[in-house]
Amino acid sequence: RRAYLNIPARLSPIYNNDGCGGSTIFRLFSDLILSKTGNLRLSPPAHSIVITVVARKNYGTGHSIGRRIGNHDALVAALRSRLTMPVKADQQGPHSEAINIIVNSVDFASFDFDQQVGISRATDVMIAMHGAGLVQMLFMGGATPANSAEDKHRYQVGAGGAFEFFCPEKPSSNYRYSQLAQRLGLLYASYEIGNERNT
């Protein structure tokens, strides 16, 4: 299956910096797509934090694509070497098991839409260059409200997050994905890189 989700720039309701957060309509839309693709009950692995670093690669047709993280592989390697050691959870809480941090590098273009949604659903933190791949935030498991007392410590609004890189051609004033994160109850941060890291 193929699906196209268009978020036109200034015509989009998420482009307005109105401070609205935790939107029900975005969550309902997300749940509909998750249900139709068979991914609604999928979630990140228990006692793990899954970080997905989105890769932007040239099209198979030979056309080049811009706004890529020039040191993508080095970034993924650094995250894996520094973050993949088990982290001991709070000893005072009911869940004192070690937390495993998993870092994945994903080129969404190499998967069909159902698989893309599944990857996103199993993601706690998404890292990407500014671009359409960040729409996948809609399906992240970390943004799902808790359904039971057992998973309340993990799956709650604000439990997931997104980190967006900006390049000079798309400055940080382009804030549609920060607004999307806010409406989904996700934590959000960004960083503007120079041309030496943008290919």
Q: What is the pLDDT of residues 157-176, one digit of tens each?
A: 446 899 999 876 666 667 78
Burial class of residue 117 in the structure, from the number of CB atoms within 10 Å of its CB (0-12 exposed, 13-18 middle, 19+ buried): buried
Range with top average pLDDT, 76-85, 91-100, 119-128, 146-155: 119-128
Span 44-59, average pLDDT: 81
* pLDDT (0 to 100) of residue 159: 65
Is residue 193 pLDDT above 60, yes or no? yes
How would residue 156 be classed by pLDDT, with cut points 50, 70 and 90? very low
**Nearest residue to 108 via CA among 172, 65, 48, 171:** 65
**Nearest residue to 101 via CA among 119, 120, 82, 129:** 82
Span 70-94, average pLDDT: 75
* pLDDT (0 to 100) of residue 103: 93
Cα 154 to Cα 20, 44, 48, 148, 170, distances in angstroms:
23, 10, 10, 10, 34
- And the tokens for 132? 């359409």
pTM for this model (two decimals):
0.75
Is residue 140 pLDDT above 80, yes or no? yes
- And the tokens for 174? 């382009």
**Nearest residue to 46 via CA among 154, 157, 139, 146:** 154
* Residues facing 189 on adjacent strands: 163
What is the C-alpha to C-alpha distance for residues 194 and 149, in angstroms, rounded to an integer?
Answer: 45
Is residue 39 pLDDT above 80, yes or no? yes
* pLDDT (0 to 100) of residue 116: 93
Q: What is the mean pLDDT of the chain?
A: 75
* pLDDT (0 to 100) of residue 70: 79
The larger pLDDT score, comparing residue 155 to residue 168, is at 168
How would residue 183 be classed by pLDDT, with cut points 50, 70 and 90? confident
